[in-house]
Amino acid sequence: MKPIIFCLLFISIASCSPDEAYGRVTNVVDGDTFDVALGDYSSCQVAEDVIRIRLADIDTPETRGAKACEAGKEASAYTRTWLQSTYVFLDLDDKTGKDSFGCWIAVVYLSENNQPGRNFNKQLVDSGHAVIEDFKNNEFDPRSW
């Protein structure tokens, strides 16, 4: 029985590491969606050099379409101010990976002294520019923020 446990442990260690990545934000689409040029990532899950991120388990007001509003523009401006051209750490969703629009679902951490710092998903909610939407189809639990 011990050899089986060792083999299972070895397989889990040899497979992809946690789906974390690091990169620079190159484009803010709206309050909860932006592009990241990856500098460091696990090639086991991510094949692209630039990925579109959708912040996990939050929702900001819309900037386009019938539901567009001033609050959406304010949320986008807030995200742009904090993230445009800055470095972030990404915890990519292990469960679903991408949403139906091809965006990677992630919890985003601001880079502070080249280490993961503040949780930007939480910061956006705390600032009043987003609300929590706990999507059960991903690995994240916003109650743990």
Q: Mean pLDDT throughout 7-14?
A: 34
Type of residue numbered 4: I
78, two tokens: 């807030």
pTM (predicted TM-score):
0.84
Give the other-Cβ count within 10 Å of 66's Cβ.
5
At which residue do the structure tokens 């309050």 appear? 31
Tell how far CA 96 is from the center of its chain. Answer: 12
Residue 69: pLDDT band with limits 50, 70, 90: very high
pLDDT at 3: 46
pLDDT for residue 19 is more than 80? no
Beta bridge partners of 27: 35
pLDDT in tens, 92-143: 999 999 999 999 999 999 999 999 999 999 999 999 999 999 999 999 999 9
Helix (H, G, I), strand (E, B) or coil at 36: strand
Fold of 18-144: OB fold (Dihydrolipoamide Acetyltransferase, E2P) (2.40.50)
- Residue spans of the domains in the chain: they are 18-144
Which residue type occupies 40? D
Average pLDDT of the chain is 87
Determine how many CB atoms are found less than 10 A away from the CB of residue 76: 22
CB 108 within 8 A of CB 89: yes
